[in-house]
Amino acid sequence: MKFFIDTADVAEIRAAHDLGLVDGVTTNPSLIAKSGREFKEVIEEITSIVDGPISAEVISLDAEGMVREGQELAKINPKKIVIKVPMTGEGLKATSIFASEGIKTNVTLVFSPLQALLAAKAGASYVSPFVGRLDDVGHDGMEGIDQIRTIFDNYGYQAEIIVASVRSPLHVLRAALIGADICTIPFSVITQLAKHPLTDVGIEKFLADWKKGQK
Ligand code: E4P
């Protein structure tokens, strides 16, 4: 499973990249706003750090505006930039236009397997079901991932499933068990993944035994 980092904070991206854990990056308008930086400038810097797909989201609500914005963003780095498009009728129209122009898309704000199916049919390169936000309203977000995996496998859709809105290591574990292609993970969760109390206890014990043996 590929790991994307879900942030527009370049310090976090560099830190996760140093761990060898960044196959790509997803951003969204809230994350860009949180970074306090100019949109294109941050995206450009991210492309200089990460050798992989980098999602940049459009803010227009009509297909024409989405396509205009997306074409501009794609120019930053045609190989790496993926245009993030919302899962709406207009978003689907824009997705099929981008597909015909060879521009990669990530259909975002997906909350049901049927929405994922529509995105794949429209030619999306990636679909992003938001599991954490579904959990927040009492649904099991990961159940939807399982169904999307089955649907895509049934029909051989090439769109890659990005498990998004990840809140805990358990989301990552379940994504890997289901066979999701990608998990886009906040930095705080990436750091949790490596930790285990028994690892720390084990290191302490090895070091203590080592010191005893040196006397
Ligand atoms: C996905 O690409 C989104 O950026 C993200 O995962 C949204 O997550 P949130 O629900 O934590 O805002």
DSSP of 41-97: HHHHHHHHH-SS-EEEE---SSHHHHHHHHHHHHTT-TTTEEEEEESSHHHHHHHHH
**Confidence category of residue 215, pLDDT binned at 50, 70, 90:** low
Residue with tokens 């951003």: 27
Mean pLDDT of 55-71: 98
ipTM above 0.95, yes or no: yes
Domains: count for the chain: 1
CA distances from 158 to 58, 149, 153, 154 (A): 23, 11, 9, 11
pLDDT in tens, 134-192: 999 999 999 999 999 999 999 999 999 999 999 999 999 999 999 999 999 999 999 99
Q: Looking at ligand 1, which atom is closest to the CA of residue 162?
A: 2
Distance (angstroms) between ligand 1 centre and the Cα of 182 equals 13
**Confidence category of residue 13, pLDDT binned at 50, 70, 90:** very high
Backbone angles phi, psi at 131, to 5 degrees: -75, -40
Distance (angstroms) between ligand 1 centre and the Cα of 60 equals 18
The CATH number given to whatever domain includes residue 63 is: 3.20.20.70
The protein residue whose alpha carbon is closest to atom 6 in ligand 1 is 165
**Mean per-residue pLDDT of the chain:** 97
Helix (H) or strand (E) holding 105: strand 105-110
Q: How far apart are CA 152 and CA 114, in angstroms?
A: 11
Structural domain that includes position 160: 2-213
7 CB within 6 A, ligand 1: no
Q: Is 84 a catalytic residue?
A: yes
| Residue 48 reports pLDDT greater than 90 | yes
| Residue 204 reports pLDDT greater than 80 | yes
Which carries the bigger pLDDT value, residue 214 or residue 29? 29
Q: How far apart are CA 162 and CA 62, in angstroms?
A: 24
Q: Looking at ligand 1, which atom is closest to the CA of residue 133?
A: 10
